[in-house]
Amino acid sequence: MTGLGRLARPAPVAQTEKCELCGQPLSDEHRHLLELNERRILCACEPCLAMKSGLENYCPVSTRTLWLDDFVFPDELWSAFQLPVGLAFFMRSTGTNTVVALYPSPAGATECELHLESWDKLVEYNPILLDLEADAEALVVNRMVGAHQHAIVPIDECYRLVGLIKSTWQGISGGSAIEDAVPKFFDYVRDKAGVI
């Protein structure tokens, strides 16, 4: 009888995402806003995105994805950033008026301020970084295994990667969380950037 009872109950309805500002239902392809004070990503409908984008505390997340095949990042310059892992994203923060690096950890995104001389040297090697949109996008770097990979991606994509790693982290070292998530993420970025 319990089996029949389960069949008689209606199937659970799929939850639609809602705008975090007005509560309206959102499509799967909705945009995001960055709430700058808490650096929180908010799902937003087009009207809310348009209304809030001009306000001081909100920034629309970038839509640009660029794969950087010819990016110059010498090993000694990477060492100067003193990051404990070979995966990080770099963004210009208007909140701190500096460039920060964030890297995945079991607690989420761990942030560290950069030595500006090192960042300036990286920009000198790669002038495309002059166009990096503050708060809205980031340079993401993968130096974990194999050929180094570099791309400019919307900031919400960086936090998506961190969330994916955090949600699958196992034990002290992370287990296979990073090994599984990172190659998939960079394949996705290459595809989104239109790189064949």
* 116: its two tokens: 């500006």
pLDDT of residue 194: 87
Q: Is the pTM of this model over 0.75?
A: yes
Q: Which single residue is written with the structure tokens 């110059």?
A: 72
pLDDT tens by residue, the chain, 196 residues: 444 444 445 544 456 789 999 999 998 888 899 888 887 889 999 999 988 887 788 889 999 999 999 999 999 999 999 988 889 999 998 888 889 998 887 777 878 877 789 999 999 999 999 999 999 999 999 998 789 999 999 999 988 888 888 777 767 666 676 777 888 889 999 999 988 6
pLDDT of residue 177: 67
pLDDT of residue 53: 82
- Closest by CA position to 88, among listed 155, 169, 143, 145: 143
- Beta-sheet strand order (sheet of 98-105): 66-67, 149-154, 137-142, 87-93, 98-105, 108-113
SS3 content of the chain, % helix, strand, coil (to 5): 35, 25, 40
- Closest by CA position to 55, among listed 68, 69, 41, 37: 37
pLDDT of residue 8: 47
* 6: its two tokens: 């389960």
